[in-house]
Structure 1
Amino acid sequence: MSSRFPNQPRDRQPGTPTQIGEEAEYTDKMAAAPTDDFLPEALPTDRTLQSAADTGALATLKGSPLGHLGRYELLEYKAAGAMGEIYIAYDAQLDRKLALKVLRPEVRRRSDHASQRLLREAQSLAQVSHPNVVPVYEAGEIDGRVFVAMELVAGEPLGRWLAKHAPPAARFWRSILDTFLEAGRGLAAVHEAGLLHRDFKPDNVLVGDDGRVRVVDFGLARASNTTASIDERSTTSMELEPHASAQRPRAWTADLTRSGVVVGTPAYMAPEQIRGGTVDARSDQFSYCVALYEALYGHRPFRGEDFTSLRASVLSGEVLAPSASAKVPSWVWRVLLRGLATEPEQRYPDMHALLSALSADPARKRRQRGTAVALLFGGTAAGVLATMLASEHRDERCTAAAESALEEVWTEATRNQVRAAFAASTLPYAATAWQSVDRGIQDYIRRWQHSSIELCESDAEDGLDGTADGHAPTTLCLDTQAERLQLLVTELVHADAHLVENASSALAFLGQPEACGTQFSSLPPAPDAQTRDKLSQIRTAMSSARLQAIAGSFDPALRQLDDQIEAAESLSYEPVLAEALYHAGDARLERGREDEIETGTELLKRALDIAESSGNDALATDIWNALARRREATLPPEQIAFWSRRALALTKRMSSYDQRRAQALRNLGTALYRSQQYTEAEVYQRRAIDLARSNNASPLLSADMLHALANTLHALAKYDDARVHYEEALALADGELGRGHPKVQALRFDFADFLIETAELSGDDGKGALALDQARTFLDTARTIRAQVYGPQSPQVAAVHVALAKLETKSGALDEAAYHAGRAIDFYRAHYGEHAPQLAEALSQLGFVQFRSRRYKEALVAWQQESALREQSGALPIVRGLNQSNIAEALVHLRRYDEAFAAFERAQEYYGAEDDISPIYSGLVEKGRGQALLGQGRAAAAVPHLEAALAVFHEHPFDVLEDADTAWSLARALRISAPTRLEEARSLATKAEDIYRANEATRDIADEIRTWLDSL
């Protein structure tokens, strides 16, 4: 008897996450603070710090200020960390000044670890000879002091150099890029030597007074393809293996142990470093791109005011669009976006490839091409200069035009109006929703401007004015999206509670400026100017109507959309008719009213016929995805899978997948999940997440996909991985919507369900209790918020009571569980009526409570009522089989054995109708049959059934009380039928007693077993 097992499908397929249990010390300080407590912010320079005389700090080497270390004369004290000191020194033997890094004596006495780290740094650097890497002259030990001698660089850290020029001036971006290109060449040289830096950041790069850039601070350098250390709470020990092509001194292969410290600087870490996975040269590439992005745009590419939120942003691939004010060409962002990809395979293959892409400035190439043409045809120097200046002025004109196009849309005054409208809604998540909308619109404007600039520059290069046929579809797409933005802002100024709740959907409706190259590319041109004007009017009306629908005004929206269908039909221009049919059908399915679902589906199918016949792959893909997403809960999963595969097939013909392919993969994964093909579902869901991240998907889309994957991992009993994905999804959703938002509560609800079901699988009573406490907190919060938003006796609150009933049943508080189950039934009946299918889950849970309370008649009544509702609603065979199995167990305890055997047969028939069903279900039937036979006095016949059940439960653990029930029954059967197995019976009974005694509701059974054992 059980409620839900790992492989039982849920009513819906998405889930939730937040970083739980992070140590307090890894919050605000973790995002930017370097973790190396030995190294100062950079190697010493002649201008890095004031001298010892100015600061009052004096060296204490050999008992005298500024003495000697071997042949090195210490001239000036420069800096100190917790583990070492840095001096400017003079090497009399070679007649040169240098930087000398020396380990503190007390640190050496405390541990050899620090000296090994210092030697590793020296050995790493000594292998690299490159003008952009600081050279090491010597490393060793004198008088018990470990030291490293290296080049003394006159200059300053790159971070300080950048600060003098921040924010970047319009033309200064080239200087920043050129500086980083030098640093990148140094990093590439490090990689060629078989090493990784693992802590690349601006303060680990020096800009010399000689103009040369040098990469420094290799205290974390290691061999390529090693495992990252990212456990913030424990000591992580890893063996380092030398690169096959490089010979290493013995110290290089030493064990690297960092106690309680993240290796690297979190703000610049690659996702694989954060996860604690394998790192390689592409991890350094990611850190390099973070630093360059920050230098160019004035902020880092990932949100995060503490380590937890930063971790979630980086792992989700949520790259912020650059600020338009940075005046950096859009091609630079595109290059960086690839270098910042979540998965290493999606980045550049090596640093050389990245540097090559960053050096390929299209504008510079155009100017060079123009110069060559002018010279080829006898142009004068003045003419060549004019060509170059014209190119630069053209770029400036494109930037100015793009910025001015939307400058009046999201002004400070408008922002204040929208903020006030959101606050007036009094919703508990209004403040977070406002911040998300403000951030989303600003991000969208920047992306739109970048796409517009790119189109303008491309047109200018080709001698077009933006209206020629070659680029008209892209211009049309950008114009349509700009118009949608204006309409959205108008709606937001007067936002009510419904629009505040659905603001994220409104933002998604704007579309992707980056995808405009494919949106209308295959459409035939409108025949004349008058038709073009009418098309523009129809599209404007459709956009306005869709935003009305998102705001909750479905009736006027649908009337307007139906009017646009008529208007489009009168034009005899099929592409816009397909758009009108699509919007009218999708809006009906969005509302979800039963009498409109079929109408909406037929409208979408009509739109699909036109879109596919006219070759509009982008719209056809949107329609297939809409059918699959909107109908996934109401149609067989096979149908959803077919539609999803059609969408996937179309995306293969498109030059830009943007997020359409990711959506299709997500939909297919959901369909496979619902058909219990969990292994296949996981594959497609992971592909969807990877693609969404690489295409700068919204945090909410990423959260939805992570939630769906978490549910699938739960079904596959991959509990640790499932928990990570629940937490990550919840962190993203919390940040975008606020904890009180209904979508966030849905995520928390699934996470709580997961915690309840897996609490007893932890193997640790304390951990199980903590998991239940965490789930209870989630559910209590959900009940409060849902009561406020939907009403205290709403179906949404009833669902929380069902979950609380399950939780309290697990914890043994059966009176509390019965109260929650009863409230859920009352609320559902009041809202839906006596025979509503929604009652089934609540009745099922009430049956469990009664069964565990040993009120078997009441349990049987509840499950029989559930059975009628499951039959009426056409529930999945696996759900109906589980219900029949539970009925059979109640009948066994009522000694109605013949009826019980019949119910078990029905359960087995239902299970047989399912493919790839978990063995747990057959285990339940075997257990029940064994208990029935034992009740009939046929102990010998019961034994093989009970043994088979126990073997299943041991191989597929899911409910310790089921283990106890089976073991206790088998112990009694063995005592009666197999006296020679009495010790085995005693052992089984003892294990059952331990399980029962740990649960408050079953301690009387434990007492009964103890009496039985004492009688043996």
Structure 2
Amino acid sequence: MASDRGTCDEADGADARTPAVLGDGDTLPRAMAPLKQGEDPLDKKLVKRALFPRRTTPVQIGRFQILSLIGRGGMGVVYAAYDDLLDRKVAVKVLLADTARDPALARSRLMREAQAMARLSHANIVSVHEVGQDDGQVFVAMEFVRGTTLEAWAQQDRPWREVVATFVRAGRGLEAAHQAGLIHRDFKPANAMVADDGAVKVLDFGLARAADDRERAPSDLPQHVTPGDSHLTPLTRTGAVLGTPAYMSPEAHRGEPSTAASDQFSFCVSLYQCLYRQPPFDTTSLATLLADLRRGAVAPPPAGTPVPARVYRAIRRGLSLAPEDRFPSMTALLAALEHDPRAAQRRLAALAVTAAVTAAAGFVAASSGGSEPQRCPDASAELAGVWDDERAQAVRAALSAIGSPAAADALAGVLPRIDAYAAAWVEMRNEACLTHAEARQSAALFDLRTACLDQRRAGLDTLVAALTQVDAAGLDSAVQASVNLPALARCADAEALTADIPPPDDPRLRLRVQAHRETLARAQVREDAGQYALGRTLVEDVLADSSALAYEPLHAEALLRAGSLAMEAGDHHAAERAFTDAMQLAIGCGHEAVAAVASSKHAFLRAVPLNQLAQAQAELPLATALNRRVRHEVDLYAEFLNNLGVVEATGGELAAARQHWEEAVALRERHGRGETLGGLNTRANLGWLAHSERRDEDMLAIYTRTAALSEQLFGPHHAVHLRYAFLLAGGLGRLGRPREAIARLADLEQRFDRLGNDYMHGQVLHMLALLEIDEGRLAAAREHLDRALAAVPESSWVFDAVLCERVHLLGVEGDAPGMQREYDRAVARLPAPPDPLGRSHRCLLYNRAQALDALGRTAEALAPLEQILAALAAERTLEVAEISLALGELRLKLGILDEAEADLRRALAGFERVVPPGNLTIARNLLALAELALTRRRFDDAADLAGQALALYGAVAEPDHLPVARARFARAQALTGPATAAPLQARAEAEAALAIWRAKSRTEDAERALSWLAAHPAAPPL
């Protein structure tokens, strides 16, 4: 039988009839030790520790104590730090090895940055204080610049003269570097800082090198961007080619040596972009950018710009295609930008009005009486006890105590995430107070904003509490809760806040309602953290306050949270009652958001957990109408679109489900909410759909993106990421790339910390064994199946799947008694009477057929497949085609040619109706038909069919994929036909097949190819 899998290869372990959809549902260095018993609190170092409190993890790099995260760049992370020796604040840049394809290259580039910058001493270049290594990590300590990037600075509404003057000061830094013999190679607005005092500093010389250094040849340079990159964002990212595409000079794109003229070009791109608010070249895609660069097609200035033509002319010369046509130096370019023939006239005019301006200013000062607007206190104090050094240390201690790689990931990811959330909360609270104090927002709106922020603070407080109590079993859920913290942006959305139902007029009731809403915010975090009992207790406290529930919007909100918690806890009937009551109450009082969410969750609940598809479908018109009213609420409406797609997919409406899931993904992406757990779940649903429809290349692309995003959000050891990485590996296997899939699964298997994730661990081991059996790695497959049985509980479907695979393995190993014992053991676990359409029984029958065939009992292997085929309904086209293909292959092997051809033709017709043309199942079918045609000596047909199969495999599969060897050997035999001498092309195909079979220890196949080659010497060319 062919090694390609049919009915038992569900990569996600889902029943073929039930969609596996999801509904609503840089590690830091070592930590500093805390103050020890007996330490003198007046010790100099301890006093400095108090004077410079740590806002993030209390870690140390070299002698530098880390204070907070500043930002992340293409090569590393930059932290604010305290230099204990020289008593100063510095910025420390640490290489992130996992962000570089070549860590050694990345490390050398970072060292080069430090060496280059250390050679420079100039007011417009960030000073380097020290370079070193700590625990294998290279770091650079440099001058701390308090301010913002030139890119962010220029995005504000700045007069053109201020922009030019600021860029000139940045240009002075480049000028000094060039005079020292150094080239920056990656100047852009993000690589310069504007300090709070107005100073301008060029930084990030990570691409600099001495002017006389040898450049690498273009062939030595890693590829930086593929032609598929189609937006400005990817064209402005740093790549291993040592540059950023949108700012790179034409010669840099060609891989030629970069010079001072190349820096000049990048400088002019940056200045043009910041002056005219658009790039000088078309950055729609890399292709359009390169086309403009080749033509030297600089966009004209926008109509009505106040920037004078002389500035544009200077920039235009700096953007010349040929380096020799640009200014001879940065000095000359800066002189051209600074030269203003009308400046002297303006200075004379200014002298004439100085006296009048002075007098007017004196009058205004006298009239104002010296009063100033009332200042708001810093809101940082409002997070005392919520998120401060003490609570950060408690979270750090709890995570450190777990002692697993997943906990280390959490330390590296969760703490900075909470720091950023807390900082944004403080900033928004301060801004709300200031706008109210300056009479720019009403008292009513200020109250709404602070109420919203208070609820967010309550949620943050509960998250921190959950993290301080976390253990290994609850770690994944707690990390998910940190990702799921509700967005702060809504607390600044005046339109959305004022559109909500106003709070009660009674001041006392208003306070109680607000307190209960904060409790519900805490309950939501407990739900996200998987602590359902705690969450339900909190909601019960709210529902027990009958007087507060007289305010119906609060009552509806509490019922909605109760339903959501009950559904997650598995109490589905309680969830149904709560959602129904919440929806009715919300509709009655006009609470549109609660009515919409309750209807969305209720439809999902009925379709999937309760298996009441018809009722769920009947509810969709109402749910759609309710959710259309809140479509401006991105997360709510995207969740509805996801749940709508779930109901449709469960009912077999796959095209409609795909449309709504794609709409949900696009909606979140447009509003910056794509990198959320909800966004990941919807992407995974699209991946499941592509899997179901055999759109394997689409599936692989979706899972590749989802795996990357999940690792970014949760870390490499989190269950969510492990799930998507597992699905990605399964997709590679489906595309005929078992070697790559096995390598990914083996790497994935090493990430399990044995403190959880046993269920997923078993799935990884099972799929690893499945691929290894097909590749002939039987000893490894046996080990992985044994470990999978030990990893998962006997009650899980994974246990049954592993038993099923052991039946196949024992057959391939030639152990007939062992195969029968394992088969009987698996049958005994099936429900009585066994259902041939059930996943476990179908898999068992299919694998028994494979095992019997491997044992040489091919005639017996027909019966299990015929049993499956008899049970399948005619409309299940794909499953019928898969079993027909397997039967056709067996009958061909037995020499039952007429029935084999009927089976194979029926299978091909079925596949062509339901799978994309390039699917490898069609390639397998074509290959079987080619081998049948060979048997019947229809050599032209065989050559054509084998060629078609080879073309399909060649498009996506690995060159040494075993079916490729079969197809090559079949084509060799077909091209030779009845002749005794083989054409050169035929011998080449046979020799290629022989090489694959030898490399994969397929001794019997290799001997067959050798025998054929010996019997068919090369025919002379025509």
TM-score range, shorter chain: 0.5 to 0.7
- Given that 1:628 and 1:667 are in contact with CA atoms closer than 8 Å, whether structure 2 keeps it comes out as yes
Task: Name the CA shift for 1:508/1:20 in 2 (closer, same or farther; >3 Å).
Answer: closer
Per the alignment, do residues 176 and 779 of structure 1 end up closer, same or farther by CA in structure 2, a change over 3 Å counting?
A: closer
Counterpart for residue 187 of structure 2: 199
CA distance in 2, matches of 1:413, 1:239: 45
Is it true that 1:485 corresponds to 2:454 in the alignment? no
Percentage of pairs with the same residue = 17
Match of 2:712 in 1: 732
Whether the 8 Å contact between 2:888 and 2:901 is mirrored in structure 1 is: yes
Alignment partner, residue 691 of structure 1? 670
Q: Is 1:506–2:505 an aligned residue pair?
A: no
Q: Given residue 564 of structure 2, which amino acid in structure 1 is its aligned partner?
A: D
Deviations 1:24-61 (A, max 9, x none): 2444565797599699758799x999xxxxxxxxxxxx
Deviation string 1:571-590 (CA, Å, 9 cap, x unpaired) is 35442233223212222333
Q: Report the equivalent of 2:408.
A: 431
Structure 2 match to 1:407: 384
Letter in 1 for 2:718: H
Distance between the aligned counterparts of 1:419 and 1:48, measured in 2?
A: 33
- Matched with 1:22 is 101
Report the Cα offset of residue 514 of structure 1.
1.4
Mapping of 1:199-348 within 5 angstroms? 199-200=187-188, 257-258=254-255
**2:102 is aligned with what amino acid?**
E
Q: By how many angstroms is 1:233 displaced?
A: 5.7
Alignment of 1:641-720 (within 5 A): 657=633, 659-660=635-636, 684=663, 687=666, 690-691=669-670, 694=672, 715=695, 717=697
> 1:409 offset after TM fit, Å?
1.6
Segment drifting more, 538-547 vs 648-657:
648-657
The alpha-carbon distance between structure 1 residues 657 and 829, as it changes in their structure 2 partners (threshold 3 A), is: closer
Superposed displacement of residue 799, structure 1: 1.0
Match of 2:164? 185
Partner of 1:58: none
Cα 1:967–1:225 shift into 2, 3 Å: closer
Instruction: Indicate if the aligned counterparts of 1:892 and 1:900 stay in contact, CA closer than 8 A.
Output: yes
Asked if the contact 1:448/1:478 (under 8 Å) is kept, the reply is yes
Preserved CA contact (<8 Å) 1:923 1:949: yes
Q: In the alignment, residue 997 of structure 2 is paired with which amino acid?
A: R
2:163–2:275 Cα contact (<8 Å) kept: no
How far did residue 22 of structure 1 move?
A: 1.4
1:804 aligned partner, one-letter code: L
CA contact (8 A) 2:479 2:529 kept: no
Counterpart CA distance in 2 for 1:214 and 1:492 is: 40
Matched with 1:781 is 750
Partner residue, 2:344 = none
Q: Partner of 1:384 in structure 2?
A: 368
1:505–1:907 CA distance, 2 compared to 1 (3 A): same
Q: Is the 8 A contact 2:888 2:903 kept in 1?
A: yes
Tell me if the contact between 2:700 and 2:728 (Cα under 8 Å) persists in the aligned partners.
no
Distance in structure 2 (CA, Å) of the matches to 1:217 and 1:420? 35
Whether contact under 8 Å (1:18, 1:732) holds in the other structure is no
Q: Cα distance, 1:968 vs. partner?
A: 3.9
| Cα shift at 1:490 | 3.4
SS at match of 2:986: helix
Q: Distance in 1 between matches of 2:895 and 2:911?
A: 24
> Alignment partner of 1:497: what SS?
coil
What value does the CA root-mean-square deviation take over the aligned residues? 6.6
522 and 443 in structure 1: CA distance in 2 versus 1, 3 angstrom threshold:
same
1:421 counterpart residue number = 398
Letter in structure 2 aligned against 1:3: R
Measure, in 2, the Cα distance between the counterparts of 1:237 and 1:505: 34
2:499 is paired with a residue whose SS is coil
2:725 aligns with 748
Give 1:585's aligned amino acid.
Answer: G
Q: 1:584-621: per-residue Cα shift (whole Å, max 9, x none)?
A: 22223333x3xx44653564465455556655454456
Partner in structure 2 of residue 1000 of structure 1: 1000
> How many Å separate the matches in 2 of 1:352 and 1:649?
49
Query: Which one has more relative contact order, counting CA pairs under 8 Å at least 6 apart?
Result: 1
CA distance in 1, matches of 2:419, 2:204: 37
CA contact (8 A) 1:968 1:988 kept: no
Aligned to 1:3: 5
CA separation of 1:974 and 1:931: change in aligned 2, threshold 3 A: same
CA shift for structure 1 position 199: 0.8
Q: Please list, as runs of the form range in 1=range in 2, the aligned pairs for 1:609-628 lying within 5 A after superposition.
A: 611=586, 616-619=591-594, 622-623=597-598
Amino acid across the alignment from 1:732:
Q
Does the 8 Å contact 1:703/1:730 carry over to 2?
yes
Partner of 1:142 in structure 2? none
Give the number of equivalent residue pairs.
760
Partner of 1:539: 517
Specify whether residues 835 and 212 from structure 1 end up closer, same or farther in structure 2 by C-alpha distance, changes over 3 A only: closer
**How many angstroms does 1:447 deviate by?**
1.8
**SS in structure 1 at match of 2:795:** helix
How many Å apart are 1:569 and its aligned residue?
10
Partner AA of 2:893 in structure 1 = H
Residue aligning to 1:799: 763
The Cα of 1:477 is off from its aligned counterpart by 2.0
2:31 aligned partner: none
- The question of whether the paired residues in 2 share the 8 Å contact of 1:805 and 1:845 is answered with no
Query: Residue 23 of structure 1 aligns to which amino acid in structure 2?
Result: D
Is the CA contact (8 Å cut-off) linking 1:880 and 1:907 kept in structure 2? yes
Give the equivalent residue in structure 1 for 2:778. Answer: 814
The aligned amino acid for 1:717 is E
String of CA shifts for 1:916-937, please: whole Å, max 9, x gaps.
67554444444445545666x5
Cα distance between partner residues in 2 of 1:283 and 1:666: 40
Q: How far is 1:781 from its partner?
A: 0.8
Deviation of 1:381 after TM superposition, in Å, equals: 4.0
Equivalence for 2:962 = 961
Q: Is the 8 A contact 1:682 1:712 kept in 2?
A: no
Q: Is the 8 A contact 1:640 1:671 kept in 2?
A: yes
CA contact (8 A) 1:488 1:547 kept: yes
Unaligned segments of structure 2, at least 5 residues: 15-19, 23-95, 128-139, 171-183, 209-230, 280-301, 308-358, 801-828, 832-837, 1017-1022
CA change 1:226–1:605 in 2 (3 A) is: closer
Q: Could you tell me which residue of structure 2 aligns to residue 580 of structure 1?
A: 558
Distance 1:186 1:844 in 2: 78
Cα offset, 1:1007, TM superposition:
1.9
* Mapped contact 2:600–2:644 kept (Cα < 8 A): no
- Report 1:435-454 matches (<5 A): 435-454=412-431
Distance (whole Å) between structure 2 residues aligned to residue 772 and residue 410 of structure 1: 43
Q: Return 5+ residue gaps in structure 1 as ranges.
A: 50-158, 242-251, 289-347, 354-374, 761-767
Cα contact 2:908–2:922 (8 A) shared by 1: yes
Distance between the aligned counterparts of 1:520 and 1:264, measured in 2?
A: 55
Q: Which residue identity is paired with 2:407? A: A
Query: CA shift at 1:445, angstroms?
Result: 1.8
Give TM-score, length-normalised by structure 1. 0.58
Q: Secondary structure at the match of 2:1002?
A: helix
Distance 1:954 1:667, change over 3 A: same
Deviations 1:793-817 (A, max 9, x none): x543331222212332454313433
Give the C-alpha shift of residue 523 in structure 1: 1.3
CA shift for structure 1 position 729: 2.8
What amino acid is the match of 1:446? A
Code of the residue aligned with 1:405 in structure 2: it is E
TM-superposed CA distance for 1:732, in Å, is 0.9
Please tell me the residue identity of whatever aligns with 1:495. Answer: V
- Note if contact 1:542-1:561 (Cα within 8 Å) is conserved in structure 2: yes
Contact 2:276 2:305 (8 Å CA) reproduced:
yes
Answer yes or no: is the 8 Å Cα contact 2:414–2:482 preserved in 1. Answer: yes
Q: SS at 2:697's partner residue?
A: coil
